[in-house]
Structures are given as C-alpha cells and as structure tokens.
Chains A and B, each alone.
Chain A
Amino acid sequence: MSTFVESRLEFVFDENWQVERWDEQPAYRSTGGFASVPGTSACDFLGRHAAAPAVYLIEVKNFTEYHHANRDKPTSAAWAETLAAKVRDTLAGALWTRGRSFDEPPIRALVDDTFAALLRDKPALRVVFWVEDRPPLDPAVASALEMAIRRHLVRWFRIGNVRVTSRSRFDPAWVPGLTVRPAGGS
C-alpha cells in the first residue's frame, strides 16, 4: 500500500499498485533531472495496477482550501493545454530515464511496465484530472473539459481516456484500488 498527500488530499493506493509521485522523483526534480529541460512539466502520479492493463496518470488540483487561489485559476482552455502537456512530458520523462543514473528499481520496473502497456494494441492510457473546487464541477462541464483535454492528447497519442473528477463524484471503479480522503481527516 502506498499513501501520498497531495493538495491536502490523501491518496491511498492498495498493494496492487506500482505507483510513484512522479513530479517529486529525483528523475524529474533533482539537479540534472528531466525538469531541467526548459518548458517541461509532470503529472503528480504515474502508476500501474496489477489487475488493469492501463497506465494511469493522475493530476490533482484542490482549489477549495485556497479561496484566493481562484483568482488565479487558469481558464478551462489553459487547463486542457497544461494537463495534456503534463501527460506528454511525464511519458517523455519516463522514457528519458532509461540509460541514465535514474534507471534503477523501482523506477526501471515502472517505466518498463508503462511502455509495455502503452505499446499494446488496445488503448491503455488513462488520465485522471482530480479537481476539488467550489462549487463542485458540473458533470456536463467536466465532460466538456475531458473532451478538451482529450483533443489536445490526440495530437500526441493514439489513445487517451480522460476522466475529470473530484472526491464527491469519484467512483472507485474508475481507478481500482484507490481511496482518496481529506488529509488528516475522515
């Protein structure tokens, strides 16, 4: 089981997960890591679940705790573009680790499994944009936002299933073995 706190939310991945906080990995964040390539970005989580043939990329934004942050909240168009770029850069960054000093377990195994899954015939990339906001995302708006993100992704990938969700709307079937709760709360 792996537990991470991100944006005041606790993400608990069960024992079937092979998951890393990608944007805090030395491969990304350290001096000489992939973030040193100008203009790159990364998703919060990159992972695989033993029972699902997919690669999961999860990006979290929590606006509910920071009222003033809403003033600077990006527009939906910017979100779509930013998230798609994070997906692109996370996968590029994962591949970039190969043959470098970061190419060690457990990163090596995760990268191997990620690309093995992505190279299968069936669509295998699942992107979750976890948005906590007030008021909560309207389902129709979330669907339109998913489509906007997906539209950006298809420029770079053959595939790209996208789910925009929040704790109040989350269905565990979408991401097996994941539980999300307020950090330090119930």
Chain B
Amino acid sequence: MAIKTLKIESLSAFEDATFELVPGINVLLGANSTGKTHALKWLYASVKALELPVLEGEAASERLLTKVPAVFASAERRIDRLVTVGAGAESGRVLVQGDEGRMLYSVHKPNALSFGGHWKSAAPTVFLPSREVLALYEGFVASYLNRELSLDETYYDACVALSASVARGERAELARTLLAPIEALLGGRVELTGNRFEVVFGDAPGLRLEAHLVAEGLRKIGTLARLIQNGSVLPHGLLIWDEPESGLNPRLVAALVPILQALATAGVQIVLATHDYLLARRLSMLSEASTSAVRPVNFFLLSRSGPSAPVEVASGPTLAELPQTPMEEEFLRLYDDEGRAFAEGRG
C-alpha cells in the first residue's frame, strides 16, 4: 500500500501539519528541532502498529497505544506525553491515508487512544534510524527486551527485521536485482554468522570481517543490503530512513541516490529525512529531469519561526520550489563570509 497523506494535529512538534506523499521518494528537510524525525516516527509507528494482522476498533487502539510510545520512547511509555505541550490541547490526531485504506486516531489525556477507519497492509514497513544497526545487532534484541537499553523501538524493530531469513523464490530473484549495485558499492555481501553480522569481501581467508570492523558508512549500506536480501524491504512496502547520510562519506552519499531511485522504481515507497545538501540536490536533479506526470521525488521543508512556534511545512517537487533550506543558507553564508574576509585582507 502506498501512503498518500500523513496529517498530524496537536501532537509532538506539530499543531497542524500535512504531508502529501508521492509513491517514490519523499524527502524531509529542515533545521534541527523542526520535527523531521517526529514526522517519520508518526508515520512509522502508525503503519507498523497495524502491519499485520488486520486490526480494527479497540484491538487497533491497543496496538497503537503500545507501539507509538515505544517508537517515541516517551516517559513511562505514555502516549499522552505526545500531545502538544503549550498549545493547551487535550487531544491530538493522526490521519494516514493510503491508496487502499485509511486510519484516523485520536490521542486523549489521560493516556487514551481511539481508532477509526480501516487499514490493511501486508507489505513490510522498515524504519532505519540515523545510527547504524548492523554492528548493534549482536545481543541487542535480548538486551532491549530485558529493558537494559533505553533506545527507542525503531532500533529493536530494525534488528528484528535484520534477523529475518534470506528470501527465497520469486522474492529472492527480485532481491538479487536490487542487491547487485548495493553489493558492488559495499564491495562484498552481508552474512549472518551465529548472532553477528559479517561482511564478506571475498572467499580468501581474512576477507570476512565482523560488522564492527567495517566502516560505519559501509555498515549502513550493509544494513540496507541485508534488508533487501531477506525481503524486509520489498516492492509495495515502505522504507523510512532517518538521516541516511550520517557516517557516509560524500562518495557514498552520491552513490546512494541511484540505489534509492532503483528501489523506488521497483515500487518501494521511501520517506527520508536529511541534512545533506549533496543528497538533497542529487534527488532534486532526478525530479528536475523527470517528464512523468507523477514526480519521482517530493520535498518537504519543515520550519518554525521560533523555538516554541508550531512547525510549518512547505512542499515541492524540486528544491527550487521550496523556500531556501538551512543547508543552502549556510553555503551562501560561507560564500559571503569568504568575500568579506578577502576584502578585509583576512582571506
């Protein structure tokens, strides 16, 4: 199921925010504390909570009441902690409109949730947090379940997704096609040996490295490879990725773009948040070059006029159709500062 709309009212950073998503690649931009990760988490928690089996009414409410606070790691796992502080709101709402279903739920004080709509999605949803999880995997699931870790549930879910067995049959065939360029970039393949992941760079002894010994950027690429390999990232599924660029050098960031494009072309809907100008600009170029009626990429710029002001969302199919982003502002400020330094004999 492709997600068409996410609407968040009076919850966490949002007073009233709407995201009209494209089936391809959706890119959230904005300075820190403008709600990018929160938007990703609202989408993820909602869709993941009701992934399977099909739940409605109270059963769906119960599931969301558990999942949403876990994804946000809110204090005492209370969902009403997420009702917007300062706006005087007693409740908030989330609407997720897909092409085959719709969910609408309200979060009330004290700690209650009511669900409406009908939601059915058999396709997997994966959230990749900004920190890599391939090296984290060993022993993480047990530690999380024993409450020895205070990380939010997206890390746990990502580790569970990584643990799935390698896909077989038709799914394996599709995975192979998508995997080829990723493994070429990685320079090897990812294997689960016992309870830890290894990257196998060749058949000779010494070319098998445990994930911990591989560069962080490559571990992120390896994570994506494994999730494709085991069918966790699938056509008609949803991949949510928070700051894919973190830990990646610029060459890997640029190389990620055709990989994201191939996934989107295969039918994976992607929603990501980034601070990286190179990634955003490359994705904008895909959109600028497109002649399709449905743009392959859509951008959302989140901003707020002050620390406690509500988040505003502007959207457009290319960077040029958004207000100036903080990334560009800084490059231009650099240019102006360099010019001043030169004029004053400091540069």
A and B bound?
yes
Residues of A within 8 A of B (CB): 70-71, 73, 75-77, 122, 134-135, 137-138, 140-141, 143-145, 147-148, 150-151, 153-154, 160
Distance between Cα atoms of A138 and B321 in the complex (Å): 24
- Flag if B328 contacts A70 (CB, 8 Å): no
Distance between Cα atoms of A166 and B342 in the complex (Å): 18
- Flag if A141 contacts B334 (CB, 8 Å): yes
With A151-B320, A151-B324 as given contacts, are A145 and B342 in contact (CB-CB < 8 Å)?
Answer: no
- Residues B291-314 near A (CB distance < 8 A): 291
Distance between Cα atoms of A145 and B338 in the complex (Å): 14
- Flag if A135 contacts B343 (CB, 8 Å): no
Task: Determine how close the nearest CB of chain B comes to the CB of A157; give it in whole angstroms.
Answer: 11
- Flag if A148 contacts B328 (CB, 8 Å): yes
Distance between Cα atoms of A76 and B330 in the complex (Å): 11
Most buried by B among A71, A147, A154: A147
Most buried by A among B291, B334, B342: B342
- Flag if A71 contacts B319 (CB, 8 Å): no
Q: Please count how many residues in chain B sit with their CB below 8 Å of the partner chain's CB atoms.
A: 21
Question: What are the residues of chain B within 8 A of A140 when measuring CB–CB?
Answer: 277-278, 331
Distance between Cα atoms of A11 and B83 in the complex (Å): 62
Question: What are the residues of chain A within 8 A of B278 when measuring CB–CB?
Answer: 140
With A70-B342, A70-B343 as given contacts, are A147 and B335 in contact (CB-CB < 8 Å)?
Answer: no
- Flag if A141 contacts B321 (CB, 8 Å): no
- Flag if B332 contacts A144 (CB, 8 Å): yes
- Of all chain A residues, the one with the shortest Cβ separation from B280 is A147
With A70-B339, A73-B339, A134-B342 as given contacts, are A145 and B320 in contact (CB-CB < 8 Å)?
Answer: no
Contact of A145 among B321, B335, B347 (CB under 8 A): B335
Residues of B within 8 A of A (CB): 277-278, 281, 291, 319-322, 324, 327-328, 331-332, 334-336, 338-339, 342-343, 347
Question: What are the residues of chain A within 8 A of B277 when measuring CB–CB?
Answer: 140, 143-144
How many residue pairs at the A-B interface have CB separations less than 8 Å?
56
* Majority DSSP secondary structure for residues of A touching B: helix
Distance between Cα atoms of A122 and B291 in the complex (Å): 9
Distance between Cα atoms of A77 and B336 in the complex (Å): 9
Question: What are the residues of chain B within 8 A of A147 when measuring CB–CB?
Answer: 281, 319-320, 328
Beyond the given pairs A73-B339, A143-B281, A144-B335, 14 more chain A to chain B contacts, judged by CB atoms under 8 angstroms and listed by A's residue number, are A122-B291, A137-B335, A138-B335, A140-B278, A140-B331, A141-B331, A143-B331, A144-B327, A147-B281, A148-B324, A148-B332, A154-B320, A154-B321, A160-B320
Question: What are the residues of chain A within 8 A of B339 when measuring CB–CB?
Answer: 70, 73, 75
- Can you list 20 contacts pairing A with B, beta carbon distance less than 8 Å? A70-B339, A70-B343, A73-B343, A76-B332, A76-B335, A77-B332, A122-B291, A135-B342, A135-B347, A138-B334, A141-B331, A143-B277, A144-B327, A144-B331, A147-B320, A148-B324, A148-B328, A148-B332, A151-B319, A160-B320
Question: What are the residues of chain A within 8 A of B347 when measuring CB–CB?
Answer: 135
Task: Determine how close the nearest CB of chain A comes to the CB of B42; give it in whole angstroms.
Answer: 29
Task: Determine how close the nearest CB of chain B comes to the CB of A158; give it in whole angstroms.
Answer: 11
- Of all chain B residues, the one with the shortest Cβ separation from A153 is B320
Distance between Cα atoms of A150 and B328 in the complex (Å): 13
Distance between Cα atoms of A106 and B176 in the complex (Å): 59
With A73-B343, A151-B324, A154-B321 as given contacts, are A145 and B281 in contact (CB-CB < 8 Å)?
Answer: no
Task: Determine how close the nearest CB of chain A comes to the CB of B251; give it in whole angstroms.
Answer: 14
Task: Determine how close the nearest CB of chain A comes to the CB of B303; give it in whole angstroms.
Answer: 15
Task: Determine how close the nearest CB of chain A comes to the CB of B217; give it in whole angstroms.
Answer: 19
Task: Determine how close the nearest CB of chain A comes to the CB of B318; give it in whole angstroms.
Answer: 8
Contact of B332 among A71, A122, A145, A154 (CB under 8 A): A145
- Flag if A144 contacts B343 (CB, 8 Å): no
Question: What are the residues of chain A within 8 A of B335 when measuring CB–CB?
Answer: 76, 137-138, 141, 144-145
- Of all chain A residues, the one with the shortest Cβ separation from B291 is A122
- Of all chain B residues, the one with the shortest Cβ separation from A123 is B288
Distance between Cα atoms of A137 and B335 in the complex (Å): 8
Task: Determine how close the nearest CB of chain A comes to the CB of B337; give it in whole angstroms.
Answer: 10
